[in-house]
Structure formats: structure tokens, C-alpha cells
């Protein structure tokens, strides 16, 4: 299953990246679009490296390539906090335009990145794991920092999705966030790790769908 799903997701992310560039050209907010492009590109790389595990043998070089997955995770995933904030700001929420709100989001984002780099990446030790036809490198032990970062990011996405829905914005952000949250809880029960990446793709697609909808409304003065 993993050997099939990872390559499919890699191609799908390439298509999503192209769609994102088109959305940006159609008038999506530049700050929002650039951050979403960074997130999408990081997820494309993640699935590309995982796909390569079907053909590449264990080596020090491949281990170093895998280490970039965790570095990108630490540096790029926290960007979903300012992404959430930018979605809310685009709806015209008064509090989101206050300097204090922007400063808080900036500090939280920087804090999450520093936390992940200090508590996870700097202490990263990988071990080869061959599972479902795929060679991957997984951390020896899991850092608590990763759980904190994911919890903050998901809380931001869910809150932004709810605010967008209440203010008449697109529902895709809330739907995608809920699917990601529920799906992540169910993946361990299935024993198929690649399903987590599928739910990540659904979340990424929902973010771009919301951005596309906001761009459409801005172009037509809605």
C-alpha cells in the first residue's frame, strides 16, 4: 500500500503546487500564497523521499536525505499558524488587523520553530525501517516538542476554519482540518502509515481551495 500511495501523492502534490501557483496568479493574497507554496513544496519533498524508499538501499547518504524531511517539518509546518491567521484577516475580522495580533502570531510561529529545532532536530537520531515495501528512516524515540507543535497548529487551523465559516467564508478549511484530525487518530488502528500522508494531502488541498475561494470573492467584490 505504501509503495503505491507515496508515488501517487508525490504526483498529486506536484499538481497541487501547480494549482497553487495558478491561484496566486489569480489574485490570492501574496503572503498567504507564498506560505502555502512552502508548505506544499515541503510535503511534495516528503512524499518524494518516501517514494524513493521502494528502490534505494539503506545508506548514510539516504539517511541524510531523510533527515531533511524532519528539518523541513520543524521549519515549515509552524507556518500553518500564520496561514490560519491570514485566512481570518482576509475575512475582515477587526481584531486580526491589530498589531498585537500579528505580533502574537509571529512570536508563536518563531517559538514553535525554535522549539522543534532545539528539542527534536538537534537531537535527531534515525534508524532504518523497512515496512510495507518501503525503506524509511524513523527517529529513535519521539520528542514531546513535535506533539506540542502539532497541537498548536491544529488548534489554529480549526479555529480559523470555524471563524471563516461563521463569517460567511469557505467551509473547506474547517472540513479539511476536521478530516486531518480524525484521520490522524484512526491511522494507528489501520497499520498503514501512508494514510497519514493522504490526510495531509486532503488538508493541503482544502487550504488551497479556501485560498482560491477568497481570491474569487476578492476579484468579484463579494
Q: What are 15's three cell numbers?
A: 499538481
Q: Which residue has the cell 488551497?
A: 208
Question: Distance between CA 154 and CA 157 in Å, rounded?
Answer: 5
Q: Which long-range contacts (CB under 8 A, 24 or more apart) does 178-183 make?
A: 179/203, 179/206, 180/154, 181/154
- Calculate ∠ Cα 14-182-214, nearest 5°: 50
Looking at the structure of the chain, the number of domains it has is 1
What per-residue confidence (pLDDT) applies to 106? 97
Q: pLDDT, tens digit, for every residue of 166-202?
A: 998 899 999 999 999 999 999 988 878 789 999 999 9
Question: Distance between CA 45 and CA 17 in Å, rounded?
Answer: 11
- Its domain, for residue 206, covers 2-219
Share the mean pLDDT of the chain. Answer: 92
- Residue 107 belongs to a domain with what CATH number? 1.20.1070
Q: pLDDT, tens digit, for every residue of 26-42?
A: 888 889 999 999 999 99
Distance of CA 94 to the CA centre of its chain: 27
**137 confidence band (pLDDT: 50, 70, 90):** very high
CB 125 within 8 A of CB 50: no
Amino acid at each position: 500500500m505504501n509503495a503505491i500511495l507515496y508515488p501517487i501523492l508525490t504526483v498529486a502534490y506536484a499538481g497541487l503546487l501547480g494549482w497553487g501557483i495558478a491561484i496566486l496568479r489569480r489574485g490570492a493574497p501574496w503572503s498567504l500564497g507564498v506560505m502555502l507554496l512552502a508548505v506544499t513544496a515541503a510535503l511534495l519533498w516528503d512524499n518524494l523521499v518516501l517514494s524513493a524508499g521502494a528502490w534505494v538501499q539503506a545508506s548514510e547518504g539516504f539517511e541524510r536525505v531523510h533527515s531533511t524531511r524532519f528539518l523541513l517539518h520543524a521549519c515549515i509546518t509552524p507556518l500553518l499558524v500564520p496561514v490560519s491567521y491570514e485566512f481570518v484577516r482576509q475575512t475582515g475580522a477587526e481584531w486580526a488587523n491589530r498589531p498585537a495580533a500579528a505580533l502574537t502570531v509571529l512570536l508563536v510561529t518563531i517559538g514553535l520553530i525554535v522549539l522543534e529545532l532545539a528539542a527534536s532536530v538537534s537531537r535527531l537520531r534515525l534508524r532504518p525501517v523497512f515496512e510495507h515495501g518501503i525503506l524509511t528512516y524513523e527517529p529513535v524515540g519521539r520528542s514531546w516538542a513535535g506533539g506540542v507543535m502539532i497541537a498548536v497548529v491544529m488548534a489554529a487551523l480549526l479555529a480559523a476554519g470555524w471563524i471563516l465559516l461563521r463569517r460567511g467564508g469557505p467551509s473547506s478549511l474547517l472540513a479539511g482540518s476536521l478530516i486531518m484530525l480524525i484521520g490522524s487518530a484512526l491511522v494507528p488502528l489501520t497499520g498503514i502509515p501512508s494514510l497519514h500522508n493522504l490526510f495531509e494531502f486532503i488538508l493541503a488541498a482544502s487550504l488551497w481551495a479556501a485560498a482560491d475561494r477568497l481570491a474569487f470573492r476578492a476579484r468579484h467584490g463579494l
